[in-house]
Structure 1
Amino acid sequence: MTEPLSINAPLLLAGLSSGLLNYLLHSSLLLGGAWLIERSARLRPRQASHREALWRLAFFGPVLTAGLATLLSWSPAPTAGPLASPTATSTAIERPALPEPSDAPTATATPPMREPAPMTGAERPTRQAPAAPRAWLQLPPEASAAVAALAAAWALLAGLGLLATGLAWWRLRVQARRLPRLDDDADLHGCLQTLARSAGLPTPPLRLGRAEWPSPLIAPGGAICLPAWALQLPPAQREAVLAHELAHLRRRDPAWRLAAQLLNQLAWLQPLNRLALRRLDALAEQACDAWATARPSDAAREQARRALAESLYRCAQELQQAAHPVRRLQLLSRMAASGRSPLLARIDALMNPAPNPHGDPTMNPKPEPYTALPARELWRKRVLVGGLTLCALALPLLGVGHSQPLDLSRLRDLGHSFEARFGVGSAMGTRIVKNSPSHNLDIRLSGQMRFNEDQTALESLSQGRLLIDERREGWHRRAEFLPGEAGQAPRLIYSLDGKEQTPDAEGQAWLRDRVALAGETIEGSEKRVRSLMAQGGVARVLADIQAPALEDHRRRSRAEALLKQGRHSDSTLQTLIQVSSGIDSDFERRQLLETLIEGQALSPALQAELLNSLNNLSSDFERRQVLESLAPRLSPDTATLQAWVQAAQGMDSDFEKRSAIVELIERQGSLPSLAAALQASLSLDSDFEHRIALEAVAQKLPRQVALDAQAEAALRAYSESARRIDSDFERRIALSALLDAGVHQKTALLGVLDAARSIDSDFERAELLSALAAHLPADAELVARYRQAARGLSEHERGKVEAALDPVMDRLAQAAPAAPATPAQAAPAASAAPAAAISRLKPPSPPRPPAAPSLP
């Protein structure tokens, strides 16, 4: 059966580190070569476009060549003999005997062993190592681990740099879209249209730059942003500025600059990239200056150069007067403003042009007729292009790799522990590595193997091996099991401190424990648990689970295997809950508790004990997972619910806490569970998470008119929890959710009105009261409380609230009872009662001004 292919951490780091080293090597050669060629008087290309192409090839080319070199070097490594035994150590430390496990059989504790006969190198079985990068320049094993750690750190920092660059680009794009357009200036816009037509481009948007942008720039999206001082320039200088920026758009410099910055962030370890970026920026500015000043006559060309030079000088003045440096978000789009852009050199080149300038003819809108190059110049150009092409083709053949598959166990300072499985089909291997400053364990398993009943001995092995290597302070043990001859028991090669010998009692105890670790990793713990149950029942298994110095995953695996044997008594389950509290790994502990919850029927007392055991579970995620597993089965018992509240409130993460609360509400929905959820919601610090939890509670609250004491208490608890929300918006949404869910009993409405009085925002309070008025019955007490909640509102918001209350007042007037009276008094009395009620509810009318005295 073919096994799924999984990620191999050592090979992944090996490939990553090899790719990084290949890039550093190739980029150093190409960038250094480009610098030497440009410095050489004989090899330097005379045209700026050729020099720019040279630097682009040297800057972007190493990404392709390094990738090809890494892929070409990725092939299976040659077979290797068995690992050499470490040299004997001279340390003389008395080693205490390892404790014999209580469950170890007294007879046949180890597989048949015999002293191995001396074997030559040819007789020892060979093993196929995993695939690893193989290159012509190989690193020694001592340096491989350090390079792998460097590669991991490089990848992390490169990812952060790419994220920062992306955020800066997005921020600049958003800011540019919010800038005012400059369409009102007809002369400026007409000049831009004329220049855009000559460049063969659509007219780009023209916007007024921000005050902190002292120079023109091209924002993401192609908009030209001009500072305020550029609008005050003479027409000739403004035309030169616009022509220069359009030249950047014509050359697609913003896209090239973005790609260069992303690559620079990705390859931040290469210092020569900064040199390449400076040269590319300078060449781009020279090419744009050449296009902006291209004119048919010498006089017009001289005027254009002077205008552009004067605008650059004004830009330099603005940069010097700026109170702070240009912000990093302009890094992608600034052209002339960059600190790397030699403004003074450009001004000098414009004012004092060379007698025979070699500009970029492709930037000239009206290029001169083509003239053939001299024979010597043509020969030099062909040699240069051919040499660069051969170098680029040969670079993938030059790679850097590791001399052997990367061994993560060399990274001891990481204190790392992992289990890796790799391979396809029958070529499956497993490796267990545990590292700490004082303990190193490395177990490698491959081939087909079978263990005895309690998994303390290896019975058969074919087409592979079992290697166990462990170091502790004072001793180093190594055991290697190899296939036996003609179906016999596996052969054992055991060494202590580098000396091969027959294992003594201490060594046999060590072998049983480590073989059991390998067996449980391969086969699971069910086989061992069944064997122990046959020997001594559940008590024997519990004693084995509680053995001291047992790894967390083995303890969890044995406990899960016991739970799968069927239903167990409360005392057994209580013991397993106590066992889970002693597991240090939150992940292993959570897995055991989930198996316990899903596979066994827990009494309310056991549920409470399990919940109380979560108080020392540090991971909020793992605790939330346990609470969600228990939610469908949670007992309504008061003590159990109180334990659940304490477990939920003990989480620091509001997200995890809210998720656990919502899961309980959706799975249960009973009034006791809703009361527990509301009590737990009081500990939520995030107003958003608090509101989400209350919205879930609102969907489960009772909607019938007749309520018992428990239901009324839940409604009051809801309004009290909503009152604890600090945000007026979130509080209003939480209270409105109660109304939208159809919970319109008088107790609920009174709670909403009481909570609404604490909303400071007039708008939010008026919105809530207006929505509540649609569900308000003709009840004088509710109307009075409604008016109390509306006190202090602004005149505008008070008018909205009064308008929403008018239909309620009409219904209240119609429902007012009529007092018994004579027919003559019936009509006045009938109208007096509602009028009196209304007069008590409406605010008193303002006093009328005194009447003017009448004239005689």
Structure 2
Amino acid sequence: MTDLLLTWGCSYLLHSSLLIAGLWAAERAGWLARLATGTQEMLWRLALLGGLVSATLSLLPAPAATPADVARPAAVLRAAPPAPKDVAPAIVETPATAPPSAQLGALPLMAPLAPRAHDLAVGSAAVWLLGALLMLAGLARQWAGLRRAVRRLPVLSDPRWRSFAVQLAAAQGLPLPELRSARPGWASPLLAPGRVLCLPAWCLDLPDDEARAVLGHELAHLRRRDPAWRLLAAVMNALLWPQLLNRVALRRLDLLAELACDAAAAAPSGQRLALAQSLLRCAEALKAGGMGHGPALACGAASEGSPLSTRVRRLLKGDENAPRERRGVRWGLVAVILVAMAAMPAVVISHTDAGALLERLGVGDLSISTGGGSHIVSRYPGGSFTVHLDGQVTFNDAEDDVQTLAGTLTVRERESDVTREMTLTSSGDGRIQRDYRVGKQPQPLDDAGRQWWTKTAARLAEQLTDPLVRAKRLFGRGGLDAVLADLERARDDFPRRQRIEALVRLGQPLPPAAQDRAIAVAAGIGGGFERRQALQALAELTLAEPQQLAWLKAAAGIDSDFERREALGALAPKLLDSPAVLAAWTDVLGRMGSDFERRTAIAAQVDATSHPAALAAALQAADRIQGDFEKREALSAVAKRLQGDETELVAAYARATAGISGDFERREALAQLLDRPKLGAAGLERVLNSAENMGGGFERLQVLLRVAERLGELRPVDAALVDHVRRAGRSLGDFERGQIERALDSLG
């Protein structure tokens, strides 16, 4: 769900940015200025809302594919369902329904969403949703406050204004708005929720023609339903707050709305100059009183984002100078934006990570499933390979032809300028009809076609066969060497990882030489997620020191801290405590840039094993962590595995705490060590050495009082340690030193 939400959000940001930025560029180039105000408004609204539509369309299930459209982009990567253990042939069944995921252009995904990318997705989606909730809450509060403020305004009883309002509302077929006197801080006439027209004090003395112009402008807002649109725009802006370009579109729409209402109010004879004069009076009121336009959720005659000077110039030009265009031009432009909205669902930001992006855009044979059937999609420089299977298929033992087929299988391959296509259709009597084409023309299956099909069938069998079923078949034919050779032949990360997992699940003993070959293949996997999965599978084996060293070297080459940490967690229970292995393990941790991932890996390792050598390596790795909190957490994980009488480990632990700059974090780390049951005088001395460098008086006092408490457990009491406690607290205040003395006096 989180991935779907983030995919939709990223796609919306991309689509809306393209639409709004494109229209903005057209405006900057002067093209929009040649269009009528209504046309411009329609285009900006389409640009504002188009990203919502296109991003949603991109996530809708794709229609069932047919042999004519198998080259279309596939939707979501799925591993083929595992076949029963007693079935030898490869069987691929069409899933009932599988909603498509998003894709980057026409390129399918090469791997599931990496957990580290998933963590980023969760965080980004959470920030987006939290920001939207906060902004919606603020908007609701603003709306409620505006409603309360308007209800408290005094009703306007001026008979002249009420007479004008009745006449103009009746002429336009609108309900009569309620007239109220605006608050002192509102300089512009405005429409508030509930069709309430608020008039500032300066308006009440306007001449009749200017009063009618002001009322005509506000009633035009009502006729256009601008208050509802402004509220909708505010809600949309709150929900989609990461899209900053929405503000550009909304400012343009505010200005266009004001221009449209100006044109409506100025339509009666003689009203154009009157409306311009009223706008100038409004500008003078804004400048003289230092007042604001009014609430953002209300529609005002001079709202923010609608420059008065632009509107006055437009009014003074007259209708004859207003831009117009032919109706065909208007609808042609609308059609262009609609076509862009329809095409944009093919361009979607999906769950890819930057490190593997080029690889994902390159080559790869992929098993893919959608609601329309099972697919294989491969793209490479100069060619492509696509498959659509609707039903189920088995291959012969030689894997050079289809043995049985229920349904339809279509294969198309393009190499340079030559496109070959084979369509296999099952008949009711078990026979398979074959339709072979070169280009679009049917051809008899000649020698070249048979050679192509033999190679293609082997490729299909390799891709569509469940990896474990394939491994068992190969093992039955040629033993472990056949399985390893097939593993080494895999060209892409995904099948390599799948075949390594199948090799481990075979349950056959793997000699060191076989383990070396499998680890070498895993080390050649470029994608961090796939390499981690492969190494996790290999970690289930019993690896000797040379194999663990090779395994750790492969883990060090993973390009993601999260994936490294997850891989190390799989090896943790079996990690050898030899110096070489622990040095290699420390090197993998040293390649992590994230303190959180390093600390989590250390905690997982010490939870899995309590060998003194492993704990010493963990302390060495923890000492390199930069963040105080993460270092303290890593040290605490080690402390829980100590008894307190491990002299060298306690000394290393105390030295590591000295590297914590925050007094609270250091105190917490030392407290963990002081809780060890067998901590003796030597350990207390180490704690005091670390506590002496603490700057915070309160934190240092807590450590010293805890040391004094532990001193009471030693018999006889060590006088040198008592003096050390006093020295460590010498720079504290009188009150703190008094507490220390009382604690020491209790020792007797």
Asked if these proteins are the same fold (TM beyond 0.5), I'd say yes
CA distance in 1, matches of 2:641, 2:97: 60
1:31-67 deviation digits (Å, cap 9, x = unpaired):
99x975799xxxxxxxxxxxxxxx9999699959986
What is the aligned counterpart of 1:780 among 704, 719, 723? 719
Corresponding residue for 1:259? 235
CA distance in 2, matches of 1:766, 1:262: 49
Structure 1 residue 536 and structure 2 residue 478: aligned? Answer: yes
CA distance in 1, matches of 2:440, 2:43: 56
Corresponding residue for 1:799? 735
Corresponding residue for 1:853? none
The one-letter code sitting in structure 2 at the alignment partner of 1:800 is E
Compute the displacement of 1:719 (Å): 1.1
CA distance in 2, matches of 1:239, 1:402: 47
Corresponding residue for 1:340? 305
Corresponding residue for 2:627? 686
**1:199 partner SS:** coil
The one-letter code sitting in structure 2 at the alignment partner of 1:577 is I
Corresponding residue for 1:591? 533
Structure 1 residue 658 and structure 2 residue 594: aligned? Answer: no
**1:602 partner SS:** coil
Structure 1 residue 756 and structure 2 residue 691: aligned? Answer: yes
The one-letter code sitting in structure 2 at the alignment partner of 1:685 is Q
**1:240 partner SS:** coil
Corresponding residue for 1:152? none
1:218-258 deviation digits (Å, cap 9, x = unpaired):
xxxxxxxxxxxxxxxxxxx9961279899969979996673
CA distance in 2, matches of 1:646, 1:448: 48
**1:462 partner SS:** strand
Compute the displacement of 1:603 (Å): 3.0
CA distance in 1, matches of 2:517, 2:153: 82
What is the aligned counterpart of 2:504 among 563, 581, 585? 563
Corresponding residue for 1:834? none
Q: Contact (CA 8 Å) 1:22, 1:399: kept in 2 or not?
A: no
The one-letter code sitting in structure 2 at the alignment partner of 1:315 is G
Bigger CA drift: 507-516 or 12-21?
Answer: 12-21
What is the aligned counterpart of 2:255 among 257, 275, 278? 278
Corresponding residue for 2:728? 789
Alignment of 1:506-585 (within 5 A): 511-512=453-454, 514-547=456-489, 550-566=491-507, 567-585=509-527
CA distance in 2, matches of 1:686, 1:238: 56
Q: 1:452 to 1:339 in 2, by over 3 A?
A: same
CA distance in 1, matches of 2:260, 2:637: 62
CA distance in 2, matches of 1:74, 1:572: 46
Compute the displacement of 1:447 (Å): 1.7
Q: Contact (CA 8 Å) 1:476, 1:497: kept in 2 or not?
A: no
Corresponding residue for 1:491? 434
**2:672 partner SS:** helix
1:184-224 deviation digits (Å, cap 9, x = unpaired):
xxxxxxxx9x97773399xxxxxxxxxxxxxxxxxxxxxxx
CA distance in 1, matches of 2:650, 2:299: 60
**2:185 partner SS:** helix
CA distance in 2, matches of 1:419, 1:13: 24
What is the aligned counterpart of 1:729 among 660, 664, 679? 664
Structure 1 residue 315 and structure 2 residue 290: aligned? Answer: yes
CA distance in 1, matches of 2:70, 2:678: 77
**1:441 partner SS:** strand
Alignment of 1:805-824 (within 5 A): 805-811=741-747, 814=748
CA distance in 2, matches of 1:763, 1:495: 84
Corresponding residue for 1:467? 411
Corresponding residue for 1:141? none
1:374-401 deviation digits (Å, cap 9, x = unpaired):
xxxxxxxxxxxxxxxxx9xxx9xx9888
Q: 1:75 to 1:633 in 2, by over 3 A?
A: closer
Q: Contact (CA 8 Å) 2:424, 2:432: kept in 1 or not?
A: no
Question: RMSD of aligned C-alpha atoms?
Answer: 6.2
Compute the displacement of 1:346 (Å): 11
The one-letter code sitting in structure 1 at the alignment partner of 2:403 is E
Q: Contact (CA 8 Å) 1:467, 1:479: kept in 2 or not?
A: yes
Structure 1 residue 698 and structure 2 residue 601: aligned? Answer: no
**1:259 partner SS:** helix
**2:184 partner SS:** helix
CA distance in 1, matches of 2:469, 2:705: 68
Compute the displacement of 1:737 (Å): 2.8
**1:546 partner SS:** helix
Q: Contact (CA 8 Å) 1:465, 1:482: kept in 2 or not?
A: yes
**1:445 partner SS:** strand
1:474-503 deviation digits (Å, cap 9, x = unpaired):
564534241255423562626489995646
CA distance in 2, matches of 1:260, 1:564: 52
Q: Contact (CA 8 Å) 1:712, 1:747: kept in 2 or not?
A: yes
Q: Contact (CA 8 Å) 2:15, 2:55: kept in 1 or not?
A: no
Q: Contact (CA 8 Å) 1:617, 1:623: kept in 2 or not?
A: yes
Q: 1:583 to 1:454 in 2, by over 3 A?
A: farther
Q: 1:800 to 1:197 in 2, by over 3 A?
A: farther
Corresponding residue for 2:274? none
Compute the displacement of 1:678 (Å): 1.0
The one-letter code sitting in structure 1 at the alignment partner of 2:552 is L
Compute the displacement of 1:623 (Å): 1.8
Structure 1 residue 610 and structure 2 residue 551: aligned? Answer: yes
Q: 1:343 to 1:61 in 2, by over 3 A?
A: closer
CA distance in 1, matches of 2:574, 2:630: 24
Corresponding residue for 1:632? 573
Alignment of 1:160-309 (within 5 A): 198-199=152-153, 240-241=184-185, 258-259=234-235, 261-262=237-238, 268=245, 273-278=250-255
CA distance in 1, matches of 2:575, 2:628: 27
Q: Contact (CA 8 Å) 1:19, 1:67: kept in 2 or not?
A: no
CA distance in 1, matches of 2:487, 2:585: 27
Gaps of 5+ in 2: 27-31, 72-95, 108-119, 156-180, 197-226, 263-279, 314-330, 349-356
CA distance in 2, matches of 1:512, 1:420: 20
Compute the displacement of 1:591 (Å): 1.9
Q: Contact (CA 8 Å) 2:377, 2:386: kept in 1 or not?
A: yes
Q: 1:625 to 1:66 in 2, by over 3 A?
A: closer
1:663-718 deviation digits (Å, cap 9, x = unpaired):
11222234332222112212222222212111212222115xxx3xxx11111111
Aligned length in residues: 578
The one-letter code sitting in structure 1 at the alignment partner of 2:290 is C
Larger Rg: 1
Structure 1 residue 430 and structure 2 residue 430: aligned? Answer: no
Q: Contact (CA 8 Å) 2:51, 2:341: kept in 1 or not?
A: no
Q: Percent same amino acid among aligned pairs? A: 27
**2:152 partner SS:** helix
CA distance in 1, matches of 2:424, 2:257: 61
Q: Contact (CA 8 Å) 2:11, 2:55: kept in 1 or not?
A: no
Q: 1:131 to 1:746 in 2, by over 3 A?
A: closer
CA distance in 2, matches of 1:544, 1:169: 53
CA distance in 2, matches of 1:527, 1:196: 74
Corresponding residue for 1:745? 680
Compute the displacement of 1:593 (Å): 1.8
Q: 1:332 to 1:586 in 2, by over 3 A?
A: farther
Q: Contact (CA 8 Å) 1:525, 1:561: kept in 2 or not?
A: yes
**1:775 partner SS:** helix
Bigger CA drift: 671-680 or 528-537?
Answer: 528-537
